[in-house]
Amino acid sequence: MNLDIPLLFRKSYRCSVRTHALAKGIEEVRKCVFKALASTAVDAESRAYAIDVQEVTLKNFIDIPGYRVTVDVESAFFPKNLQSTDRISGLGRMRSAFLLGDVVLPPYYQMGFLSPAAAAIEKASNPEDREALTSELLKSMYNESGIANLCLGVFKKKRAMAAFYGYIVESVEAHVLGMHRAAILALIPCIEGIIRNIGADIGKDIPDEISKMDFISVLTEVQKRDIRETFQSYNWVPDELISIPIFDRFHERVQMLESIKFFIDSSLYLDTRHYKNATGLNRHGIVHGFITEFASEANYLRLFTLLSALSVVCILTGDNGSLFFPAATPESEAWASRLSNLKRG
């Protein structure tokens, strides 16, 4: 029987944590590996396995120091100290500010643009001022040109979004005509269908029912897939390292998906009986007629921002695309002009 190398890595890591070897250096970690080998090996040639321990630093938004432990041709990553990641990036703070305005973290815009806007929303002295600031920001981000560039340059090209592109176009046209109720109602099934399609793309099918936990589970799996990419050159890492709470401290893509999950959980798909947000943007309340005061330009643009964020999720699950705002094209400029004409009447 061959050596169970994943078991060896688990035992080695537990020993390294228990004896504080991770803080003491390579030789102490190596001792733990040999100790684990002695209790794991089951054949007579156990002492012949090639063992190597090296200090390494992984880079993914921040430095993650640790050890590369190699046994024959398989390797593991042992982090030196998980608490070394204990910080919140600027994006995490901005996310919290935007969620105060009932908006997911807007993608494709640079931090230099988003940061002062987030600070203003966070510092608003009352809900009315916060809503006014949020509304003006959304209108400046998603004017006719911005909407046309995103729709034609991003949404139309994503596998999970393609089936709903006609809905999106009609919702945009209703929006510029001031028919915000119709525009919002047109986007709600798009959002649900897109998340279902993303789930299918990653092998996580959603049952034929409306469940926010199913939608959140799809986004959680995308986060975990992205985290695992950090360790793609390793055969084994500690389970506790594939942790959304840990990576949410510093990893910007994980933070963006966490923003979507929070918006779905605490606002858009929150049980209407517990919904208290002044915006009225609650799927169940709207669709079932419990909430009737939701038809605002800002609410449509909130859903459009969510749509934009889901397009980033499509990129993370394998669609080609850039995380920079799409450039204008002759086609998008022509559509933006038509939208402006519709708006003017």
CB 68 within 8 A of CB 57: no
Same domain, residue pair 65 and 94: no
First to last CA, the chain: 78
- CA 184 to chain centroid, in Å, comes to 23
**Residue in 224, 112, 152 with CA at minimum distance from that of residue 216:** 224
The pLDDT tens digits of the residues spanning 98-155 come to: 999 999 999 999 989 999 999 999 999 999 999 999 999 999 999 999 999 999 999 9
Question: Is pLDDT above 70 for 85?
Answer: no
User: By the 8 A CB rule, do 309 and 160 touch?
Assistant: no
The per-residue pLDDT for range 5-30, each reduced to its tens digit, is 999 999 999 999 999 999 999 999 99
Is-contact 254 226, C-beta < 8 A?
A: yes
**Best CA proximity match to 114, nearest among 124, 126, 103, 127:** 103
Query: Position 78: which residue type?
Result: F
Residue 180, H or E segment: helix 180-201
Task: Return the SS3 of 183.
Answer: helix
What 8-state DSSP symbol labels residue 236?
B
> Does residue 70 come out as left (phi exceeding 0), alpha (psi in the -120 to 50 range) or beta?
beta
| One domain, residues 77 and 22 | yes
Same domain for 174 and 109, yes or no, is yes
Total Cβ atoms within 10 A of residue 286: 22
Clarify whether residues 223 and 264 are in a common domain.
yes
Q: Based on the domain organization, do 62 and 145 belong to the same domain?
A: no
- C-alpha to C-alpha distance for 219 and 230, rounded to whole angstroms: 18
Structure tokens at 43: 């054949």
pTM over 0.75: yes
- Same structural domain for residues 165 and 107? yes
Q: Is the pLDDT of residue 182 over 50?
A: yes
Query: Above 70 in pLDDT, residue 44?
Result: no
Q: In a 3-state reduction of DSSP, which class is residue 70?
A: strand
Residues contacting 185, CB < 8 A, separation 6+:
286, 287
Count the domains in the chain: 2
User: Could you tell me the pLDDT band of residue 3, with boundaries at 50, 70 and 90?
Assistant: confident
Q: Which residue has the tokens 């589970």?
A: 217
307/167 same-domain check: yes
Chain-centroid distance, C-alpha 127: 27
Q: In the listed set 84, 107, 134, which residue is the last one of a domain according to the structure?
A: 84
Please tell me whether residues 58 and 170 are part of one structural domain: no
Of 69, 84, 99, which one is at a domain's C-terminal end?
Answer: 84
Q: What is the pLDDT at residue 208?
A: 76
Q: What is the mean pLDDT of residues 57-76?
A: 92
Domain closes at, from 55, 84, 113: 84
Query: Residues 286-312: what's their mean pLDDT?
Result: 96
Residues in the chain: 345
How many Å apart are CA 218 and CA 239, to the nearest integer?
Answer: 19
Q: Give me the domain span that covers residue 66.
A: 5-84
pLDDT of 84 over the 90 cut:
no
pLDDT band at 209 (very low <50, low <70, confident <90, very high): confident
Q: Tell me, yes or no, whether 114 and 67 share the same domain.
A: no
Are residues 47 and 109 both part of a single domain?
Answer: no
- One domain for residues 171 and 263: yes
Percent of the chain past pLDDT 90, that is, above it, reads: 81
pLDDT at 88 over 70: no
In a shared domain, residues 162 and 276 = yes
Is residue 35 within 8 A of residue 7, CB to CB? The reply is no
Annotate 249-305 with three-state secondary structure.
Answer: CCCHHHHHHHHHHHHHHHHHCCCHHHCCCCCCCCHHHHHCCCCCCCCCHHHHHHHHH
308 vs 4: CA distance, rounded Å: 45
Please answer whether residues 316 and 327 qualify as being in contact, where contact means their C-beta atoms are separated by less than 8 angstroms: no
Q: Which two tokens stand for residue 340?
A: 């402006």
The position carrying tokens 């987030």 is 118
pLDDT of residue 45: 52
